[in-house]
Amino acid sequence: MKRFVTCTAVIALAACSSERSGTFEGEGGTTGNYAVDEDDGAVTAEIRTEDGIATLRSGESVAPDLPDGFTVYPGAKVLSSTNFSQAGKKGAMVLLESEADPEAMAEFYRKQAESAGIEVRMEMSINDGKMIAGESDGGLTFSFNATPEDGKTNAQLMIGTNLGG
């Protein structure tokens, strides 16, 4: 989880900065560099940690690198996508906007997760929103969170392999 927080911080740093590239230092000796693509605004970063080098690419124009059997919800708009990898670990976080209700979107992703061998182990409904999460015996982890806002649904899909530990 610490690596994901570092990656998120890098994305925020690059998005808020007028600099198009740079280096950074984080907690525990983490260092890295980032660059913002002049054409599409996507951020590419390389982060060096004690566990090795992590890479990420994030932005509105970045195509989500989802595992086989997973797709973007039909008709949903991809607001942003972040793909990351490090030492055999790989994942994607996709922010979506849809006209569909949270329950329908959650059911769509539940079916994809179960088809991929993921056991949904957590499910929560709150304030008309829906969250589900689970993992497979083979190391595939998954979470989906959707909330209604201003007549649309905002959602976040996170999925990856070997992300634990």
- Looking at residue 164, its pLDDT comes to 61
- Looking at residue 4, its pLDDT comes to 45
Residue 63 scores a pLDDT above 70:
yes
How big is the chain by its Cα radius of gyration, in Å? Answer: 16
**What is d(CA 45, CA 25) in angstroms, rounded to the nearest whole number?**
13
Which of 50-54, 62-66, 160-164 is predicted least confidently?
Answer: 160-164
Residue 147 scores a pLDDT above 70:
yes
- Looking at residue 110, its pLDDT comes to 97
- Give mean pLDDT, residues 33-56: 86
Q: Render pLDDT for 112-135 as a digit per residue (tens, 0 to 9).
A: 999 999 999 999 999 999 999 999
Could you please report the per-residue DSSP string of 87-136? TTEEEEEEEEEESS-HHHHHHHHHHHHHHTT-EEEEEEEETTEEEEEEE-
**What is d(CA 31, CA 84) in angstroms, rounded to the nearest whole number?**
16
Q: What are the sequence ranges of the domains in the chain?
A: 1-54, 63-165
What is the architecture of the domain spanning 63-165? 2-Layer Sandwich (3.30)
